[in-house]
Amino acid sequence: MPHDHPPHPHDHAHPEGVDPHAPAPDFGDERSRWYEVASDVMRDMLIEQNVFSAREVRKQIELMESKTIQLGGKLIARAWVDPEFRQTLLKDGKAAAASLGIPVTEASLTVVEDTPAVRNVIVCTLCSCYPRSLLGQPPSWYRNKAYRSRVVREPRKVLAEFGSAVPDDVEVHVHDSNADLRFIVLPMRPAGTEKMGEAELAALVTRDSLIGVAPPRAA
Amino acid sequence: MTASVAINTGRRFSAGDQVRVLDLPKTGHVRTPWYIREKVGTVTEWTGKVLNPEDLAYGRCGGPAVNGYRVVFDQRHIWPDYQGPAHDKLHIEVYEHWLEKA
């Protein structure tokens, strides 16, 4: 573990070959990998050919990074209070979102429903497919090989590590977002929220609850 | 599935069909993960007809479009040493040419 306090007598061991006083690694320190270089070169060439401008690239990044959980929260809260909307959402997530004025640019949005008998969890084992136009960028752990390989292999253990162990009488359904479908979980409305309005309910919905690793809670 | 339905839709499978995932000797941008190959599951729904990502990734954008299906598997069938109850499931999307009737 790097530490920057003054020299001191060591009563703890440092692993062989590791500089204990090396600065902590920072984002961008790693050497660019092949695909990063290729993508930079491609972007520069397309800008040079006037296919798009640097300003448009920046605007697109800004748009992608401006998406937050709020839109997802709005969808879920409406489904909790409006049974008809709930049916539409489960049948065609994209159409349901559009009816609230929320554009989803992915080909489709499939909504899987938690019930007292079923817990759902989403993964993309091949890469990091995620409904970005609705929820923005996925969390870093969603893209890690550890999550991607383990949640299909031992979902109950992974869910327990997220603090949401599933009792054995409840089915765990893992959804691999490996191809054209994109997913969110429709979690169960938490107990103790009977008097809450739609906006208050929407605020309970978290990113992780839409991936399925941690159901929303009232407090 | 009746023959007339198959002819009308051009789909080889319907919800409820038992299917086996093929282990095709394809490399590159394939969307059928290794862990699901040669496993037997049940079709739950047709997901539409899309241009095949296996072609699109290499600039072959002219089609043909392929049918996709959602298929559900028992976790204990996928992983013989699965640590969990028998009712746990895994759902995945598979393109038609990767499937055969089981």
Which residues in chain A land under pLDDT 70? 1-15, 17-18, 20, 23-32
Which amino acid does the sequence have at A5? H
Question: What local confidence, expressed as pLDDT, does residue A35 receive?
Answer: 81
Which amino acid does the sequence have at A182? R
CA distance A112 to chain B (A): 11
Q: Which of A149, A151, A122, A158 is CA-nearest to residue A138?
A: A122
The count of domains in chain B is 1
Under 8 Å between Cβ of A122 and A175 = yes
Q: What is the pLDDT of residues B73-96, one digit of tens each?
A: 999 999 999 999 999 999 999 999
CA distance A168 to A185: 20
Residue B72's domain is classified under what CATH number? 2.30.30.50
Is pLDDT above 70 for B25? yes
Q: 3-state class of A48 per DSSP?
A: helix
Average the pLDDT over B92-101 and give the result: 96
B71 interfacial to chain A (CB closer than 8 Å): no
Question: What local confidence, expressed as pLDDT, does residue A109 receive?
Answer: 93
Tokens of B80: 């013989």
Q: Which residues of B touch A179 (CB under 8 A)?
A: 31, 47, 53, 68, 92-95
Q: What is the pLDDT of residues A165-216, one digit of tens each?
A: 999 999 999 999 998 889 999 999 999 999 999 999 999 999 999 999 999 9
**Do the Cβ atoms of A176 and B79 come within 8 Å?**
no
pTM > 0.95: yes or no: no
> Is A66 tagged catalytic?
no
Q: What is the ipTM of this complex?
A: 0.91
Q: What is the pLDDT of residues B1-24, one digit of tens each?
A: 444 444 446 899 999 999 999 999
Q: So where are chain A's domains? A: 34-65, 67-211
Average the pLDDT over B25-53 and give the result: 93
Question: What local confidence, expressed as pLDDT, does residue A66 receive?
Answer: 84
- Search chain B and give the residue with CA nearest A156: B84
Q: Which residues of B touch A153 (CB under 8 A)?
A: 79
Q: Which of B100, B22, B96, B8 is CA-nearest to residue B52?
A: B96
Looking at B34-87, which runs of residues are DSSP E strands?
40-51, 65-74
Domain that holds residue B41: 3-101
- Residue holding tokens 């990734």? B57
Q: Is the peptide bond before B53 cis (omega within 30 degrees of 0)?
A: no
The single residue of A124, A133, A177, A209 carrying the catalytic annotation is A124
Q: What is the pLDDT of residues B47-70, one digit of tens each?
A: 999 888 888 888 888 888 999 999
CA distance B92 to B69: 8
Question: What local confidence, expressed as pLDDT, does residue A6 receive?
Answer: 58
Domain A67-211 has CATH 3.90.330.10: yes
Question: What local confidence, expressed as pLDDT, does residue B68 receive?
Answer: 95
